[in-house]
Amino acid sequence: MSGRAAYPFLFRWLHALLVPSMWALILTGFSLHSGSRPGWSLLWGRVSCWFCTGRVNYWHAWAGVAFAPAILGACWDYARRRVVRRKIGFRPTHVILLAGSGLMVVSGFFLTNPPGWELLYWTSRWLHAILGMAVLPLGLLWHLATGLTRRAKLLVPVFHPWANPQWRPIAGWLALAAVTSCILLNGWPLGFPWRDLVAARIPGREPSDLAALAWDQARPLEIQLANGSGLNAGRTRAEFRALHDGGELFMKIVWADDTESYDDWPWKKTAAGWEYQYTSMDECRFYEDKFSLFFPIRQCGDFERFGCAASCHIDGRFGYGYKGSHYRLDVWHWKAARTDPVGQADDQYCGEAVYGEPGAGLHHDPCEGGGYSQNWSPDTNHPLFLPDSRGAVHHGSFPRSRAVKYTAEAGAAIPIGAIVPGIMTEPTRGDRADIRCQSHYGDGHWTLYLRRKLETGSPYDVQFAPGGRYAFSCAAFDNARLRHAYALQVFHVVLEK
């Protein structure tokens, strides 16, 4: 056997896959950790300029797809040669790297598919962080230092996968890679039927109360959301049900949230004057509760494989991941203070991200008028408008029709400690007004009802049809502007014929 083929073929093949994928996971993993919620992130949720930016979730997932079958194959090969055949000696570095990497695969699966059992989730999270940020990088650096010094002559032989190829090990590895990739890529291309939200068909009518629909006919779908701010250590569970009548789609969503939040950067009267209740653009205190759904407008392989990770970006100039995509996503964005008081959810879409523009890649559907507006201006140190009476304030906002221009006399009459909403509302008209809603809060849970026509004719909306299957994912916000608890899994709405 030639010097280049001194190592077994499977060993060389796996070695060539593991090194680049492992380094890619470590580099992108540091970015993901630094951008996670404050209190968990060592950098308090801020991505340093020297870390990887952009679609970090997306590239981390792709690296994991290459890494998982390679490390599982390497663990099997090592155990076979070390334990069964006793052909290789014991090296602690090999054991640390192989065992640690195997645990990374298992814990990573539970982080992207959060289990309902919290102990398992948090054990996986701590294990993933400790291994990924300390144990494996140090072990890999030691392994690299050894390879560049004491075993420098073996660098070429160990990274020469095509010398004397053996197709049987390749076939076995490809079979393993097909299984692990299907699991990691959200069941693509086969799909996971247990992640389907089946919209049962009901007789067509115009319901005045969405809560009175036949929700018992709809099979529930539970979705675990994680890595947000607030909630239960950043986690919550959302239960979905769906119905349709051939003309409209109806959704019922229930999720746990211990606090009912309607603030949206309000004003507070103090002895020293007016205080704008604002901490940063990464607001996690003076803000409203929200819930959002994402649908690719046309079938998209990236979304089917990675869900929201395909369009989520991380950058040091933003407090958290922002959306931006080369394909359009239809975004249904319910906001407790800004849209719920007028019975609407914001109809938005996600497109190409442009730095410097508000929302980066998130845009409103075309609007013919109306909508919410902020009761604030950088040129003033007081609200722009006041509600004409206390009764005008409802759920953290007041109608624009009940707003009066702020005057010093009116401001002086307001008692110290009073709160004036930072949002004025008005029903939206046009394409942006396609989604109507109804909600209530009780017993530590939000219950949200959404309705929308199956076909709107808008190029910014997903178009539904009976018998169709449509990918989606979702996120919950607990009085947070950006830091949502999200699902990286992909789900599908299936409309009965």
Evaluate whether 144 touches 152 at the Cβ level (below 8 Å): no
Question: Given this model, what pLDDT does residue 357 score?
Answer: 65
The average pLDDT across 171-180 equals 94
Domain coordinates in residue numbering, the chain: 3-184, 193-495
Burial of 378 (0-12, 13-18, 19+ CB in 10 A): exposed
Count other C-beta atoms under 10 Å from residue 302's C-beta: 16
Please report, for residues 32, 55, 77, 296, the alpha-carbon distance to residue 310 in angstroms, rounded to integers and kept in the order given. 14, 7, 33, 11
Residue 317 pLDDT greater than 70, yes or no: no
The CATH architecture that domain 3-184 belongs to is Up-down Bundle (1.20)
How many residues are there in the chain? 497
Its sign, for the CA torsion 275, 279, 284, 289, is positive
Question: Given this model, what pLDDT does residue 2 score?
Answer: 41
* β-sheet bridge partners, residue 333: 292, 346
Residue 5 pLDDT greater than 50, yes or no: no
Question: Given this model, what pLDDT does residue 87 score?
Answer: 66
Alpha carbons 186 and 471: distance in angstroms, whole number: 11
Evaluate whether 441 touches 479 at the Cβ level (below 8 Å): no
- Nearest CA to 349 among 336, 337, 367? 367
pLDDT tens digits for 53-87? 888 999 999 999 999 999 999 998 888 877 666 66
Alpha carbons 313 and 28: distance in angstroms, whole number: 12
DSSP H helical segments within 230-355, as ranges?
Answer: 301-306
DSSP H or E segment with residue 69: helix 56-79
Pick from 92-101, 264-273, 431-440, 453-462: least confident: 92-101
Largest CA distance in the chain: 95
pLDDT tens digits for 370-410? 999 999 999 999 999 999 999 999 999 999 999 999 999 99
pLDDT tens digits for 11-34? 888 888 998 999 999 999 999 998
Question: Given this model, what pLDDT does residue 37 score?
Answer: 80
Alpha carbons 300 and 186: distance in angstroms, whole number: 13
Evaluate whether 311 touches 398 at the Cβ level (below 8 Å): no
Please report, for residues 71, 286, 292, 332, 386, the alpha-carbon distance to residue 344 in angstroms, rounded to integers and kept in the order given. 49, 22, 13, 10, 23
Alpha carbons 106 and 73: distance in angstroms, whole number: 14
Q: Token match 């814990």: residue?
A: 107
Alpha carbons 254 and 218: distance in angstroms, whole number: 14
- Nearest CA to 132 among 110, 105, 109? 105
Pick from 140-154, 157-171, 242-256: least confident: 157-171
Residue 248 pLDDT greater than 90, yes or no: yes
Question: Given this model, what pLDDT does residue 3 score?
Answer: 43
**What is the CATH code for 193-495?**
2.60.40.1190
Q: Which residues contact 433 (CB under 8 A, 6 or more apart)?
A: 344, 347, 367, 370, 427
Q: Which residues contact 341 (CB under 8 A, 6 or more apart)?
A: 394, 395, 397, 399, 425
Evaluate whether 433 touches 345 at the Cβ level (below 8 Å): no
Task: At 410, list the tokens.
Answer: 């009116």
Task: At 447, list the tokens.
Answer: 């219950």
Evaluate whether 58 touches 31 at the Cβ level (below 8 Å): no
pLDDT tens digits for 464-480? 999 999 999 999 999 99
